[in-house]
């Protein structure tokens, strides 16, 4: 993969090895080097690296989950005459969720 913008892609463990093929653009959790009898120092470092990657990747997971929630609406097979009520209900729930999130993040 050459050219294009320099973008870092945070991927899960299923994409390990792809980083070498993409010049480091795909970032995956660390690969476990010792499967049996790892040294004590290794476990601490491995867990720290894994947790750091997970903390950055959580934003990606939340984005994917959000898209999946809206996919359910796109696949709506119910009665079309109730569709406007459904959309209004979803908009109200989303607005309420965003307001609650903002209140939680405000300084006390």
pLDDT at 51: 92
Q: What is the pLDDT of residues 8-24, one digit of tens each?
A: 888 888 888 887 777 77
CA pair distance 74, 51, nearest whole angstrom: 35
Burial class (CB in 10 A: 0-12, 13-18, 19+), 90: middle
CA distances (Å), 78 to each of 12, 56, 88, 90, in order?
Answer: 35, 38, 15, 15
Q: What is the pTM of this model?
A: 0.52
**What's the confidence (pLDDT) of residue 99?**
80
Q: What mean pLDDT is reported for the chain?
A: 77
Number of C-beta neighbours around residue 13 at 10 A: 12
pLDDT of 2 > 60? The answer is no
């Amino acid at each position: 993969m050459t050219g294009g913008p320099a973008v870092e892609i945070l991927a899960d463990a299923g994409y390990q090895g792809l980083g070498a093929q993409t010049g480091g653009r795909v970032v995956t959790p660390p690969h476990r080097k010792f499967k049996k009898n790892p040294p004590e120092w290794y476990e601490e470092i491995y867990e720290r690296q894994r947790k750091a990657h997970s903390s950055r990747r959580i934003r990606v997971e939340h984005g994917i989950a959000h898209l999946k929630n809206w996919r359910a609406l796109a696949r709506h097979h119910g009665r079309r005459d109730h569709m406007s009520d459904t959309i209004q209900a979803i908009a109200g729930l989303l607005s309420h969720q965003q307001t609650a999130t903002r209140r939680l993040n405000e300084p006390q």
